[in-house]
A and B are shown apart, each in its own frame.
Chain A
Amino acid sequence: MIIGFRLNGQEVTARVDHPASLLDVLRDQLGAYGSKNACEQGECGSCSVLLDGELVCSCLVLAADAEGSEVTTVEGVAPEGELHPVQEAMNRVGAVQCGFCTPGFVVAAVDLFERNPHPTSREIKEALAGNICRCTGYGAIIRAFEELAGREVR
């Protein structure tokens, strides 16, 4: 079957002949490689996207269930050539090691700051609990978002 949805503001279509995930369709058919494929069971958060404005793991969304929805991936969090404040904050602090988990953290943090512009350290940690950094580079990631939240950075 052919499905259609809005990806980062653009109408897109894809063909799904088997129960593919939204992540599969993003990467294999639509060239949106920002969302990463790692655990395929919703544990790692590296495939995080916003589906109709809600943060979800795209590996757990049946692609056909995105029909008619609005999907925002890391490619769509800021206009072309610009960075989202969340990305700038990570840049400033150097909150990137190998980079594999970074897109997922960016999308999760964009969601957090949209709902809560001044999260506490605890709120930041809880909001990012579904994102795993295998380099264990959490210190800098948390500091970046504490700084963005206007918190005193330890």
Chain B
Amino acid sequence: MEVIHPRNLEEALAAVADGMTPLAGGTDLMVEVNYGQKRPERVVALRRLADIADFSPTRIGAGVRWRRIEKEGPRALAQAARTVGSPQIRNAGTIGGNVATASPAGDGLPFLAAVDASIELTSGSGSRLLRWDEYFVGVKQTARRSDELVTAIVLADDLPERQEFAKVGVRNAMVISTVCCVVTRREDGATTVALGSVAPTPMRARRAEEMISSERSPSEATLAEFARLVSEEVAPITDHRSTEEYRRHAAGVLARRLLERCLRREAA
């Protein structure tokens, strides 16, 4: 067993290039270790690496933990952060870990899709930025090379004025999403709808977005059509957490509810 605590990013990158397993908050990796699914013998522990814990309106370091995002993050990401696990999990888990694990149910991921965030990947030979839809390629599969670390989330400097997150799960706390959703809306009506747990990767409901973006004060019939389009566009599966049918239904309900919250804030 070999564990190193890198003092700076260079040391961390050298360790990753050397094949060591990156460990951030441990809330994913240690579950697999405890259940005998993984047995990493060489680990680079990133918990105390300040170089990847920077935080600004346009850049969130990979090592920033949910507890901080809950208080300081952009509105919909902060709302998502508050629903991640429990206080214990939010004190340990990081946004970089969420992005690196790339679970379809990752609660932080729909926000990244909704605002077209980029993922910064860094190796010994430099950094590259991948837009979210280039980065997430499948269930727990990403475009990250084995010699790279996720080092930051990069956001535009003009995030939408209105943004709302919500998720559906079997209980209120400590629950993995059955469906999670972010809706954003700008002054001019431009709307984005992003969803998690309803496809192999986070996704956007582009047809619903296009339809609703030109509507300044949507009628009841338009809102119903919006929800129907979202339900049609998602691609969920039936698994131990829910059924395809329920996820389709819930995706439409959730997206409409969040859109209405954005509209109410617009009116206020």
Binding site for B on A (CB under 8 A): 1, 16-19, 21, 40-43, 45, 48, 54-57, 59-62, 64-65, 67-68, 108, 111, 126-127, 129-131
Size bracket, chain B contacts: 20 to 34
Contacts of A127 in B (CB 8 A): 87
**Which residues of B does A touch, CB under 8 Å?**
1-3, 5, 23, 25-27, 29-31, 33-35, 39-41, 43, 45, 47, 67, 85-89, 91-92, 172-174
The CA-CA distance from A62 to B89 in the complex, in Å, is: 14
Task: Give chain B nearest CB distance to A130 CB in angstroms.
Answer: 2
Q: Is the CB of B45 within 8 A of A62?
A: yes
Asked if A57 contacts B41 (CB within 8 A), the reply is: no
Contacting residue for B88 out of A17, A18, A45, A67, CB 8 A: A45
Given the known interface contacts A16-B1, A19-B39, A129-B86, the answer about A65 and B34 at a Cβ–Cβ threshold of 8 Å is no
Give B67's nearest chain A residue, CB to CB: A54
Q: Which chain A positions have C-beta within 8 A of B40?
A: 19
Residue of A nearest to B173 (CB): A129
If the complex has contacts A41-B35, A129-B173, are A62 and B30 also in contact, measured as CB distance less than 8 A?
Answer: yes
Q: How far is the CB of B161 from chain A (nearest CB, A)?
A: 28
* Residue in A60, A108, A126, A131 whose beta carbon sits within 8 Å of that of B26 in the complex: A60
Alpha-carbon gap, A41 to B27, bound state (A): 8
The chain A residue with its CB closest to the CB of B82 is A126
Q: Is the CB of B88 within 8 A of A21?
A: no
Cβ A19 vs Cβ B88 within 8 A: no
B31 x A17 contact (CB < 8 A): no
Cα separation A16 to B30 with both chains bound (whole Å):
15
The reply to whether B87 and A42 contact each other, CB–CB distance below 8 Å, is: no
Q: A21-B33, A65-B45 are in contact. Are A42 and B89 (CB under 8 A)?
A: yes
User: Are A59 and B30 in touch, CB under 8 angstroms?
Assistant: yes
Contacting pair B88 A65 (CB below 8 A): no
Q: CA–CA, A129 to B173, complex, Å?
A: 6
Q: Which residues of A contact B91 (CB under 8 A)?
A: 54-56
Asked if A56 contacts B88 (CB within 8 A), the reply is yes
In the complex, what distance in Å separates the CA atom of A111 from the CA atom of B90? 14
